[in-house]
Structure 1
Amino acid sequence: MTHAAVLRPALLALLVAGAGSASAYQLYATDDTHLNADLSATFGLFHSQERYTMSGTLDQGSSSWQEGFVKYGLSGDQKLGGTGTAYGAFNLLSSATWGDGDAAGFSDGSERTTRIEDAYAGWRSAGLFPVLGEDGIDLSFGRQNIVVGDGFLIDGDALNLGKGVADGEFNRGGAYYLAGRRAFDETAVLRIGGKEGWRGDLMRLKSDNRAQAKSELYVATLEHVAQAGTVGLTYIDVNDIDEQYASPAQLARKDMKTYSLRGTGNAGVENLFLSGEYAWQDKRHTDNGASSDENAWYLEAGWTFADVAWKPYVSYRFSRFSEGYDPLFYGFSRGFGTWFQGEVAGNYAGPFNSNTRVHNIGAKVTPLENVSVGLQWFDFHTLDTDLGNTDANELDLYAEWAVNEHLMIIPLVGLYQPKKSAAEGGTQLGNDNSNLYSQLLFSTTF
């Protein structure tokens, strides 16, 4: 299994939210008790004129496939007199891939799986500790999705490989792009602090995902939240991995320490968006037995022209990921391009947030209240071409149409131009032609 195979695509932030319990049908409600039925579904149609080497199972040609998942179950909460609120959820998720399978060969179109997705319980302190704010203590356990910051390091356990890799040994049920399965198998999470001021988290996260080498993480965060923005520190200690399933790159993950400094907000300037993060990794187990230091960072700035028709938003981001950087559990949090940079590059062709630097320009307009149109351009430059060459440019045009409160439709067309074919050290099979890629996504929540 290649290093690229430990990385996975995701979906628009609105769809990710829809896959959780953000929308629900209320079955029972009193002042103290709530019981909800959760139901969400996402379906996608995909076509790629070109294929890529990541799974090692495909030949030159095109791929057309479909993916879908349905998530369903119960969630609720119960006030405990003056001693806080208990809450929890139990959800199943059914997923599938049809057709040829994805353009990198991680799925083959035969995947069909139903498994438990969420199974957690927790307690919030309500007003028990005024100095910490409302719900200043939040303690939870079980199988649940966890996000740190904007997903640069951790945004769920969402790599969903299919049967196309290692004779299906890493199969998680299909829907590789949609990635409905996001929950860590075992979690213990203590959140301290309210929604403003100083707050922090202490977490133990255990993955049951073979494609992530079933990693066990200890995570600590410290943040200051203010109206002008949030500044945070993150510490991640990979305590253990299952070496049976680890790729060569993942073998260096055991005992690896990651430290990061991050910030996001508007610095008190309306219409401005600023974001950045610097992550440093101390790897203890490398191929030659010596330790190594790796790093990744980005800086991003955006501006909304609020007084102009359609309220255009433009942004620029530069990101850099060192040659041996381990991208861990990065995910999809703020829309297209974060942190799967380029629909073709980030999902099938690479790079996968390692051994690369990326320029990104984004633009978005809102011609109607329920319709927005966006454009993303990426320039990828490989740092060490001896490890493979993923130099490329990509342009993605997409729309987001909220048909009603229950249905979102998102068409996207991408044009990906690699500098090298697979025979020349790149990843595109058979040629270095432009790849015209298209997808159409439907997401519904109730």
Structure 2
Amino acid sequence: MVERNLQCRSLISGAIFSAVVGFAAVPAQADMSLYDANGLKIDAAVTAGLTGFVSPGAQFGAGSWTNNQNATQRRISGRPAWTEWFITPELKASFETESAGTFYGDVSGQVSATGGDGDPSLISTTYGRPVLLGVENLYGGWKSGKTLDGLGLDENALDLSGGRQSFKVADGFLISNGTSNQGQRGMFWTQSRTAFAQTGLLKAATGPVRADVFYLQNNSANGLMPTAIPDSAKTKVIGGNIEWFENADAEEGKPAKDGASNFADRKWYAGLTYFNVIDANTSGNLGFGNPGVTNVTSTNTLTSNRDGMNVYSAHVGGNMLPFLPDFSLYGNYVYENNSKVNRKVDANAWYIEPGYQLSDVMWTPKLSYRYAHFSGDKSPTDNKKKAYDPFFYNAITRGFGTWFIGEIVGNYVISNSNVNIHQLVFSVNPRDDLKLSVLGYTYNYDAKGQNVGVTSDNLAREIDFTAEWTINEHVSLSGAFAAAKSGTGYRQYLNLNADAGNNWNGADSTWLLAETSLVVKF
């Protein structure tokens, strides 16, 4: 286990530098070739990451606490310091044929650990220095190659796969992470595990249109030891996604862009998604409205009542206006509905994010604004859940603020439900491999009445300073410094939920956070 002196001294000293957000944003490069002949190709890859954190004034002075399940709850620290590290070896194979397309497979494992005090959530989800060794990817598939040329379709127009793997729609607002990184898994900030436990995927693309038909089951244990933090509800969904897109412009000396397969290669996109929850755990606190269960807790309102739910989504992103090449627009709308008796749901979320970059100005400054809405439940004691369920969101696509919105509040206070957020971002690029940003946030409860006794919707405000540095094609460094102040509503929430012996009252200190992350991939 990494010792605290490394956490607080060596790592945090570099917190003003960064390259990409965590594991999934490592710049693409060739894997290590082990064999390549007669159509058979075998590659290997190893990804490793180490992140250090220190957070004075955690929970605005209330501090981070242990889970009180099977033990007396106690305060861990008002200034938690912790590390997260992982190592992921991976083996890939493909066999390309003349007339039957390409067959492929992937297997990877991961060892991960959280050291020190664990994350600074009010009830820490990674306290206890958890370590886990397990399988990440284990899947196989087939691509059509040139077998469908006679039908006028593109090469590899069909891609069929199944097994344990990651899957993402658009920029990950709704679907991108099949694993809840908490409890024994650790890695709460790094989010290094993203694979769904089971998948069945059919991807199709030709010209400017691509589509997905998917079956997904998340990787849920509903409470991993040693911390016994409740996991998200075990969920199985089946659905589809269709998108219209344009490839980004090709870069000199690099392969052509492939927006059909890679989100980052799309100049712009617009799409529709639908899925139905064919099965989900609704027992105990995962059943909003179950007899004897108090509805108003965040655990109940987050992933409960999924069984039978229908989810509809529309999304757009990138630059669709050729006469304004520096303008960008991202947005997503999600509506959730469940009409089953005792599992009624009527919830929604959406965001709109325009941005503009001055590409002809030194350091290419960019300014963007986002308003994000996640519905809350103004009547939490009735039999209909109106608080939005964020399902499978993650922070793997567009950098800081997507979709853990704020390095402090977005990670350790909210869960993308019952909150409205204003976000303003200004960034510059002093070098091609270095990006510096300032991000400002205000947070307000959408339904303050969801928390009994809370009379103010003022949740918090935050400012983050981040940097993103791509050292080379194998090494990246990321970091941030953040500060947040609690609002009246969150202070009321803490005061009203303080148990005997807890000292959550007051909670008006400035909450600071410094973090730095090094990721290496070969």
TM over 0.5: yes
The structure, 1 or 2, with the larger RCO (C-alpha pairs under 8 Å, 6+ apart) is 2
* Partner Cα distance (2:367, 2:127) in 1: 38
SS of equivalent residue, structure 2 residue 45 = strand
SS of equivalent residue, structure 1 residue 147 = coil
Q: Deviations along 1:175-204, whole A, 9 cap, x unmatched?
A: 22112111001100001113x422211110
The AA in structure 1 aligned to 2:245 is: V
SS of equivalent residue, structure 2 residue 33 = strand
Q: Deviations along 1:63-118, whole A, 9 cap, x unmatched?
A: 10001111002012110222111111110100001101110110114211110000
SS of equivalent residue, structure 2 residue 58 = coil
Q: Which residue of 2 aligns with 1:168?
A: none
Q: Which residue of 2 aligns with 1:238?
A: 277
1:5-154 → structure 2 map (5 Å cutoff): 12-13=20-21, 15-18=23-26, 23-30=30-37, 32-52=39-59, 57=73, 59=75, 61-104=78-121, 105-130=124-149, 131-154=152-175
Q: Structure 1 residue 305 and structure 2 residue 358: aligned? A: yes
Deviation at 1:238, TM superposition (A): 1.2
* Partner Cα distance (1:318, 1:30) in 2: 52
* C-alpha contact (below 8 Å) 2:282/2:306 kept by paired residues: no
* Partner Cα distance (2:450, 2:315) in 1: 29
The AA in structure 2 aligned to 1:216 is: K
* C-alpha contact (below 8 Å) 2:200/2:215 kept by paired residues: yes
Greater C-alpha Rg: 2
- Percent identity (aligned): 29
* Partner Cα distance (2:482, 2:113) in 1: 24
* C-alpha contact (below 8 Å) 2:460/2:490 kept by paired residues: no
* Partner Cα distance (1:14, 1:124) in 2: 30
> Higher strand share goes to which structure?
1
Deviation at 1:355, TM superposition (A): 1.0
Q: Deviations along 1:199-257, whole A, 9 cap, x unmatched?
A: 21111001231312221111211111235621100002111113357342323111111
Q: Structure 1 residue 370 and structure 2 residue 423: aligned? A: no
Q: Which residue of 1 aligns with 2:307?
A: 254
More divergent stretch after superposition (184-193 vs 26-35): 26-35
Task: State the TM-score, normalizing by the size of structure 2.
Answer: 0.76
* C-alpha contact (below 8 Å) 1:252/1:284 kept by paired residues: no
* Partner Cα distance (1:218, 1:290) in 2: 19
SS of equivalent residue, structure 2 residue 449 = helix
Deviation at 1:14, TM superposition (A): 6.5
* C-alpha contact (below 8 Å) 1:313/1:364 kept by paired residues: yes
The AA in structure 1 aligned to 2:208 is: G
1:272-291 → structure 2 map (5 Å cutoff): 272-285=327-340, 289=342, 291=344
Task: State the TM-score, normalizing by the size of structure 1.
Answer: 0.89
Q: Structure 1 residue 157 and structure 2 residue 178: aligned? A: yes
The AA in structure 2 aligned to 1:182 is: T
SS of equivalent residue, structure 1 residue 254 = coil
* C-alpha contact (below 8 Å) 1:50/1:103 kept by paired residues: no
Q: Which residue of 1 aligns with 2:7?
A: none
Q: Which residue of 2 aligns with 1:206?
A: 217
* C-alpha contact (below 8 Å) 2:20/2:468 kept by paired residues: no
Gaps of 5+ in 1: 1-10, 163-170
1:58–1:134 Cα change, 3 Å: farther
The AA in structure 1 aligned to 2:34 is: L
Q: Which residue of 2 aligns with 1:8?
A: none
Deviation at 1:334, TM superposition (A): 0.8
* Partner Cα distance (1:440, 1:17) in 2: 14
* Partner Cα distance (1:48, 1:285) in 2: 43
Q: Deviations along 1:347-378, whole A, 9 cap, x unmatched?
A: 1122x211111111111111122211111111
CA RMSD of aligned residues (A): 2.3
* Partner Cα distance (1:142, 1:386) in 2: 42
SS of equivalent residue, structure 1 residue 346 = helix
More divergent stretch after superposition (152-161 vs 93-102): 152-161
1:244–1:71 Cα change, 3 Å: farther
Q: Deviations along 1:275-304, whole A, 9 cap, x unmatched?
A: 111111102358xx3633211111111111
Deviation at 1:26, TM superposition (A): 1.1
SS of equivalent residue, structure 1 residue 193 = strand
Aligned residues: 422
Q: Which residue of 2 aligns with 1:409?
A: 477
SS of equivalent residue, structure 2 residue 509 = coil
